[in-house]
Amino acid sequence: MENKPWGLYETMIPTQIEDVLNSTPIAYIPWGALEYHSYHNPVGLDGIKAHGLCVDLAKEVGGVVLPPIYQAANLIKSYPGVDFKMHSIEFSEGLIRLTCQEYFQQLVETGFKVVVCLTGHAGEPHIDILKEVAKEFSEKYPHHRFWSLAEFDVLSDDLLVANHSALGETSLQLHYAPETVHQELLPKDREITLVEDGVAGQDPRLADATRGALIAETFVSNASKEIASLLKSVKDQ
Ligand SMILES: [Zn+2]
């Protein structure tokens, strides 16, 4: 396969961005959060995960990767029935919508034809807002393509489901930034729960980098096919 130009947007000079625009005019927005992720994971997990996956996609398909947006709504901080007020910075739903619209609008104006918004944070309606903005822009710009997704949208349930700092997220973090994970801080003598530990999903003590690599590889294989076909549909019109 020919080598597709790609880069980290904030590190690129105009001629490098124009090379990408001329061959694979795709922009990736990794959407993160600053959110409590239990004892063992960093508060920026969602953005680190989304950025890692977007870089892997860009290497496969081409395009530019924007810096992660550490701005999310609907965090565990305000989740009913649990008490995790610390270590999260939460933004309003209206601001999430506006931020997404302003990125999409200016990426179109600067020449990108396909915009992929990968959210590592799956709070609701945070994730629905990003999908609604993609739909709104698809109608506004029928010759462009906009795709907002979470990583589990293109993975089978046996590999990954939506989770909070559980088996799936902890494995991905061990794959992309193992030095930031402290599994030894998880309790050893009892079940891990949402109310006590702020973990939603399967047991994070079973997480490992091998599983994280498999999730990442499968995600890239599935999502890259979709993105390549979105780009082809833009070029064919
Ligand atoms: Zn998360």
Q: Is the pLDDT of residue 1 over 80?
A: no
Tokens of 38: 């239990």
Rounded distance from Cα 198 to ligand 1 centre (Å): 11
Overall average pLDDT of the 121-135 stretch: 97
Q: For ligand 1, a single-atom ion, which residues have Cβ within 5 Å? A: 46
Overall average pLDDT of the 188-215 stretch: 97
Rounded distance from Cα 2 to ligand 1 centre (Å): 34
Helix H, strand E, coil C: the string for the chain is CCCCCEEEHHHCCHHHHHHHHHHCCEEEEEECCECCCCCCCCCCHHHHHHHHHHHHHHHHHCEEECCCECCECCCHHHCCCCCCCCCCEECCHHHHHHHHHHHHHHHHHCCCCEEEEEECCCCCCHHHHHHHHHHHHHHHCCCCEEEEEEHHHHCCCCCCCCCECCHHHHHHHHHHCHHHCCHHHCCCCCCCCHHHHCCECCCHHHCCHHHHHHHHHHHHHHHHHHHHHHHHHHHCC
pLDDT of 164: 96
Overall average pLDDT of the 190-199 stretch: 96
Rounded distance from Cα 165 to ligand 1 centre (Å): 6
Overall average pLDDT of the 191-213 stretch: 97
Among left, alpha and beta (phi > 0; psi -120 to 50; other), residue 65 is: beta
Rounded distance from Cα 22 to ligand 1 centre (Å): 35
Q: Are the CB atoms for 69 and 99 separated by under 8 Å?
A: yes
Predicted confidence (pLDDT) per residue in 206-232, tens digit: 999 999 999 999 999 999 999 999 999
pLDDT of 2: 63
Would you kindly state where each structural domain of the chain is located, as residue ranges? 6-154+222-230
Q: Band of the pLDDT at 205, cuts 50, 70, 90?
A: very high
Rounded distance from Cα 50 to ligand 1 centre (Å): 10
pLDDT of 3: 76
Of the candidates 177, 184, 175, the one whose C-alpha atom is nearest the C-alpha of residue 208 is 175
Rounded distance from Cα 35 to ligand 1 centre (Å): 7
Measured between alpha carbons, how far is 192 from 200 in angstroms, rounded to an integer?
Answer: 9
Predicted confidence (pLDDT) per residue in 139-150, tens digit: 999 999 999 999
Rounded distance from Cα 19 to ligand 1 centre (Å): 34
Quick check: pTM over 0.85?
Answer: yes
Rounded distance from Cα 173 to ligand 1 centre (Å): 10
Q: Is the pLDDT of residue 18 over 60?
A: yes
Rounded distance from Cα 37 to ligand 1 centre (Å): 7
6-154+222-230 to CATH, choices 3.40.50.300, 3.40.50.720, 3.40.228.10, 3.40.50.10310: 3.40.50.10310
pLDDT of 32: 98
Q: How far is CA 101 from CA 38, 113, 135, 146, in A?
A: 31, 15, 11, 11
Q: Is the pLDDT of residue 111 over 70?
A: yes
Measured between alpha carbons, how far is 196 from 92 in angstroms, rounded to an integer?
Answer: 26
Rounded distance from Cα 172 to ligand 1 centre (Å): 10
Rounded distance from Cα 104 to ligand 1 centre (Å): 23
Rounded distance from Cα 184 to ligand 1 centre (Å): 19
pLDDT of 10: 98
